[in-house]
């Protein structure tokens, strides 16, 4: 007598789960772009290298409206494109390496959630916010600022809106990267009440204040850290995340509803 078929043998195989540490395509492309630009820039003669810094780095003095304003390469166009292009240049391997190291876990989560177009647009917006913060605090500085740290800081801030939520990357409850990237985000109010988010913010601000890891100003202030750009990018990522997020959230969080808190 034949034994009855095992029901489990008739189930369709589960789709393969993508490991958390596998880099998504948009992040791989972004890192590849940074690396390619750095390799090409590093291979040019010194005179051309510094011309590129002045034409594509962010120089606050470029926006000085006085009659004694300094003329920089790039003309009027550079007043527009340098709000983003500065984030694609890096001073050396350690500079680009630190930025990529910070970007790997948080940028991976964000790229999976946003997809390619939203991810690149978000990184550009965070770069603009970082440059704006630097301009406000260094109005007459002639030292070019370069580095992706404003964008990286924005990606880190945006990712904490969902990476600490139950079932996401930092909740220690998933091995499926794509599913972890699609969990509903926390409202800004809830995020700022989460102990792990608060601990992360304390560490992040502490690192920026104490070690100043990230963007570097080249020129009259060699090796100085543009930490204000980090703050600008970070605040943009934290506050503008919902404008980019394609994952719908419940209309009202139960905990927020009881306190009358709004969603952001």
- pLDDT (average), residues 228-234: 90
Residue 153 domain flag: yes
- List the domain range (segments joined by +) for residue 49: 23-247
3 state SS of 264: coil
Domain count, the chain: 1
Query: Which of the four pLDDT bands, split at 50, 70 and 90, describes residue 243?
Result: very high
Helix (H) or strand (E) holding 145: strand 145-146
For the record, the structure tokens of 198 come out as 């608060």
- pLDDT tens sequence across 18-57: 444 578 899 999 999 999 999 998 898 988 998 999 999 9
Over pLDDT 90: what percentage of the chain? Answer: 38
- CA separation (Å) from 196 to 1, 118, 186, 248? 59, 26, 13, 23
Residue 146 domain flag: yes
Cα–Cα distance between 87 and 70 in angstroms, integer? 22
Residue 263 domain flag: no
- pLDDT tens sequence across 69-80: 667 888 889 999
| β-pair partners for 55 | none
Residue 124 domain flag: yes
Q: Are 80 and 127 in contact (CB under 8 A)?
A: no
Cα–Cα distance between 257 and 117 in angstroms, integer? 33
- The predicted model scores a pTM of 0.78
Residue 115 domain flag: yes
Residue 112 domain flag: yes
Residue 34 domain flag: yes
Cα–Cα distance between 194 and 108 in angstroms, integer? 22
Residue 238 domain flag: yes
| CATH code of the domain covering residue 86 | 1.20.1540.10
């Amino acid at each position: 007598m034949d034994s009855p078929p095992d029901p489990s043998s008739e189930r369709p195989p589960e789709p393969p789960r993508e490991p958390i540490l596998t880099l998504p395509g948009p992040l791989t492309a972004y890192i590849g772009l940074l690396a390619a630009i750095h390799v090409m820039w590093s291979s040019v003669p010194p005179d051309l290298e510094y011309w590129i810094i002045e034409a594509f780095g962010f120089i606050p003095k470029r926006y000085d409206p006085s009659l004694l304003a300094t003329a920089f390469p790039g003309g009027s166009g550079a007043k527009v494109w340098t709000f983003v292009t500065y984030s694609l240049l890096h001073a050396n391997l350690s500079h680009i390496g630190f930025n990529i190291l910070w970007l790997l876990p948080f940028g991976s989560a964000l790229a999976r959630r946003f997809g390619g177009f939203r991810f690149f647009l978000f990184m550009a917006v965070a770069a603009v916010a970082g440059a704006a913060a630097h301009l406000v605090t260094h109005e007459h500085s002639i030292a070019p600022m370069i580095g992706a740290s404003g964008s990286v800081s924005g990606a880190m801030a945006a990712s904490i809106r969902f990476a600490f939520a139950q079932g996401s990357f930092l909740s220690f409850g998933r091995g499926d990267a794509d599913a972890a990237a699609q969990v509903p985000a926390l409202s800004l109010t809830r995020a700022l009440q989460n102990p792990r988010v608060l601990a992360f913010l304390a560490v992040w601000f502490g690192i920026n204040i104490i070690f100043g890891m990230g963007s570097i100003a080249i020129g009259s202030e060699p090796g100085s850290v543009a930490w204000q750009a980090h703050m600008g990018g970070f605040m943009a990522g934290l506050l503008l995340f919902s404008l980019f997020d394609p994952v719908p959230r419940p209309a009202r969080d139960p905990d927020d509803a009881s306190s009358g808190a709004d969603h952001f």
